[in-house]
Structure 1
Amino acid sequence: MKVRVLGCSGSIARDSRTTAFFIDDHILVDAGTGVGDLSVEEMAGITHVFLTHSHLDHIAALPLLLDTVGTQRCAPLQVFALAQTLKALREHIFNDVIWPDFTRIPRPEAPLVQLHPLGVGDVLAVSGITLEALPASHSVPAVGYALRGAGAWWVFSGDTEGGVAAFWQRVNALHAQAPGVGALVMETAFSNREQALARKSGHLTPAALAQELAQLSDPAGFPVYISHLKPSEGAAIMREVRQLEQGRGLQIIDLQSIELLQL
């Protein structure tokens, strides 16, 4: 399975694009501003989008993607997310005020996009990829995802403040079964000095990340990639995250340095 990192920043700035992962050239996990780096042909090849939650940095490119290639497609784009996330899309994006309602255009029976609810624990198979929705705790309803093709699992926490034991139970269970987990992507949006803001907004700091990673049954079993760094604090966050490696056997990598993962 090929995971192309289109964006993994917590906000925008030069060379900073918000969350979007391009899986095997036809699946998007989140649709942040990084989608804008795809060619028209690549956008037209996307068949499924899986959203972690409704915040703008994770959905910003979805309406624009439909505007770019919607009429070039031979079938509606299939978008999956929690029911609450889909409700937010209908009410606040595809509402004929912020953006045309492409769930009814050009015709209700043949729209450019179809929205499908999923729940935590749901498992779907899409063109050789197995996808499972994982629990997350954020300021709005949210999920993470685990995806696997022919190789190991790629696990993405989504935006989360942590404290979800079921997430780690599932990660450990996936890793216990061959071929295990090949990569874990964890958000860490704020430095430790912004702990109060991180808690209020439902994000992790390096100190909170340490508590989360302590629940791994095999800390050295696979690399942990850090995502969602705020551009103004990225260097400070990674300095604090690096301290977690000491004596723990962890392999921690700044996801912004990675363009492609092959699992």
Structure 2
Amino acid sequence: MQLRVLGCSGGIGGVARTTSFLLGDRVLVDAGTGVGDLPLDALCGIDHVFLTHAHFDHIACLPMLLDTVIGARRQPVTVHALPETIATLQVHVFNWQLWPDFSVIPDADNGVLRWAPIAVGESCDLDGLRMTALPAQHTVPALGYLFETADGAMAFSGDSADCPAFWGALGRVERLRALIIETAFSNREAGLARVSQHYAPETLLPALARIDPSVDVWLTHLKPLDASCIVAEARNGVHRIAALNGGQTLDF
């Protein structure tokens, strides 16, 4: 399985795109602004979207995706998320004011959007890919995800501060090859990271001691103005740590 990074920035500007990953051809993880760079045929081929949480930088392109592909879909696009995330999007986005409710378009029995609630620990099997919801700690209800194939596994933290349950779940994963983990702020803004429930390098590095040093660590959600500083502060010589980049692909 290949993961393609459509967006991994904590902001916009130039080539920066917000969080979205494409697994194979059919599965999106989050739907940030990077989704908008996909060609039309690729957009039409997306069957599943797994959301980590409801913040705008992670769902910005979901409304436009549904509007774009409606004429090409014979089956709905299934959006997997926490019940709290679904409720937020129903009330504040797909509410006929900010955006139409695509769960009842073109009609109530054949909506192009199908909601699929998921809870921490639950898994979904999709053609050789297993998606498992992992715990996260953020300012709103949030998830991380574990991606598994017969060959290996990769984890994604979503937006999260230090979450012991997340690291405990990773400790039970066999053949974990890589971890994509958010590190939104540099150490000079560690106070802001704590308030907004994100990592800074000073909180990330002690947390990484809980996993095997052989696991590749990819930093995501870096604030654009501090990206190089965050990476420099996070490199500790123990784990293989690098910044994720838009357009990058990872195999697992």
Alpha-carbon distance between aligned partners in 1 of 2:206 and 2:226, rounded to the nearest angstrom: 21
TM-score by length of 2: 0.98
Q: Is 1:200 paired with 2:188?
A: no
Q: Is 1:184 paired with 2:183?
A: no
Alpha-carbon distance between aligned partners in 2 of 1:20 and 1:257, rounded to the nearest angstrom: 9
Q: Is 1:256 paired with 2:245?
A: yes
Counterpart position of 1:98: 98
Counterpart position of 2:171: 172
SS of equivalent residue, structure 1 residue 233: helix
What does the per-residue CA deviation read over 1:108-136, in whole Å, with 9 as the maximum and x for residues that have no partner?
11001011111000011012211110000
Tell me the CA shift for residue 257 of structure 1: 6.6
* Equivalent AA in structure 2 for residue 259 of structure 1: Q
* Equivalent AA in structure 1 for residue 223 of structure 2: K
Counterpart position of 2:144: 144
> Is contact 2:17–2:246 with CA below 8 Å preserved after alignment?
no
What does the per-residue CA deviation read over 1:50-82, in whole Å, with 9 as the maximum and x for residues that have no partner?
000000000000000011112211111000000
Alpha-carbon distance between aligned partners in 2 of 1:45 and 1:82, rounded to the nearest angstrom: 24
Alpha-carbon distance between aligned partners in 1 of 2:46 and 2:124, rounded to the nearest angstrom: 17
TM-score by length of 1: 0.94
* Equivalent AA in structure 1 for residue 134 of structure 2: L
Tell me the CA shift for residue 258 of structure 1: 6.0
Counterpart position of 2:18: 18
RMSD (Å), alpha carbons: 1.0
Alpha-carbon distance between aligned partners in 1 of 2:79 and 2:149, rounded to the nearest angstrom: 20
Alpha-carbon distance between aligned partners in 1 of 2:202 and 2:246, rounded to the nearest angstrom: 22
Counterpart position of 2:222: 229
SS of equivalent residue, structure 2 residue 245: helix
Q: Is 1:239 paired with 2:228?
A: no
* Equivalent AA in structure 1 for residue 215 of structure 2: F
Paired residues for 1:36-185 under 5 Å? 36-162=36-162, 164-174=163-173, 177=174, 180-185=175-180
What does the per-residue CA deviation read over 1:142-179, in whole Å, with 9 as the maximum and x for residues that have no partner?
000001123210100000011x22211211210xx3xx
> Is contact 2:186–2:201 with CA below 8 Å preserved after alignment?
yes
Alpha-carbon distance between aligned partners in 2 of 1:79 and 1:96, rounded to the nearest angstrom: 18
SS of equivalent residue, structure 1 residue 173: coil
Alpha-carbon distance between aligned partners in 2 of 1:115 and 1:234, rounded to the nearest angstrom: 35
> Is contact 1:71–1:112 with CA below 8 Å preserved after alignment?
no
Q: Unaligned 5+ residue runs, structure 2?
A: none
Would you identify which runs of 4 or more consecutive aligned residues in structure 1 move more than 3 Å? none
The number of residue pairs the alignment matches comes to 252
> Is contact 2:103–2:111 with CA below 8 Å preserved after alignment?
yes
Q: Unaligned 5+ residue runs, structure 1?
A: none
> Is contact 1:5–1:258 with CA below 8 Å preserved after alignment?
yes
SS of equivalent residue, structure 2 residue 75: coil
Alpha-carbon distance between aligned partners in 2 of 1:21 and 1:70, rounded to the nearest angstrom: 21
Alpha-carbon distance between aligned partners in 2 of 1:251 and 1:75, rounded to the nearest angstrom: 41
Counterpart position of 1:3: 3
